[in-house]
Amino acid sequence: MDHIVTLDSRQAAALQAIADKFIAQHKGDAVKALKEMIVLNGHLQERLDAMEGARRATR
């Protein structure tokens, strides 16, 4: 991990609510929800890497 994020109590509560909702969408299966989140994050990371590569190429 390159970056550690520290949340205040308000941010932590908001994140918990989102996590609860995401798990509920997966019928309470936290492992299934986590697997989907890993896949989604992988896709987002690929897009960010591509954007960073394009930005470096234009410099």
User: pLDDT tens digit string along 1-38?
Assistant: 578 989 999 999 999 999 999 999 999 999 999 999 99
3 within some domain: no
Residue-range definition of the domain harbouring residue 38: 9-57
* Residue 58 confidence class, pLDDT cut points 50, 70, 90: confident
Distance, first Cα to last Cα, the chain:
27
Q: What's the CA gap between 7 and 16, in Å, rounded?
A: 11
Please tell me the total count of domains within the chain.
1
51 within some domain: yes
With beta carbons less than 8 A apart as the criterion, state whether 26 and 36 touch. yes
Q: What are phi and psi of 27, to 5 degrees?
A: 55, 35
pLDDT value of residue 3: 84
Residue 36's identity, in one-letter code, is E
